[in-house]
């Protein structure tokens, strides 16, 4: 396997992990966003809880976008790995 394929595989795995966290680990992602927002001086956002997660429109947007990003990363990983072997 060439160095290019390994680099693309590493980036694809990073993209897939990011998508997984956006889709299924939303509290962690939102906590990281609020920490980054406080460091840049942005307004503080509320921390969602389990009772209001289903009513939050961002919840569904994160699931959809995270699943698409995760699928994109997995497809790029598979295409590079299968082509390189």
Residue 46 confidence (pLDDT): 58
Structure tokens at 26: 């939303």
What is the distance between the alpha carbons of residues 59 and 5, in angstroms, rounded to a whole number? Answer: 34
Distance of CA 70 to the CA centre of its chain: 7
The average confidence (pLDDT) of the chain is: 82
Q: Which residue segment(s) compose the domain that 68 sits in?
A: 3-45+52-84
What is the distance between the alpha carbons of residues 1 and 9, in angstroms, rounded to a whole number? Answer: 11
Total domains in the fold of the chain: 1
pTM of the model: 0.71
Where residue 69 falls among pLDDT bands split at 50, 70, 90? very high
The residues near 73 (Cβ < 8 Å, ≥ 6 apart) are 12, 13, 14, 15, 16, 17, 18, 19
Residue 16 confidence (pLDDT): 95
Where residue 42 falls among pLDDT bands split at 50, 70, 90? low
């Amino acid at each position: 396997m060439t160095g290019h394929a390994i680099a693309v595989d590493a980036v694809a795995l990073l993209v897939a992990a990011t998508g997984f966290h956006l889709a299924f680990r939303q509290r962690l992602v939102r906590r990281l966003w609020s920490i980054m927002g406080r460091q840049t001086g942005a307004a503080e956002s509320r921390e969602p809880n389990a009772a209001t997660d289903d009513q939050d429109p961002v919840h569904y947007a994160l699931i959809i976008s995270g699943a698409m990003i995760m699928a994109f990363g997995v497809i790029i990983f598979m295409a590079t790995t299968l082509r390189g072997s």
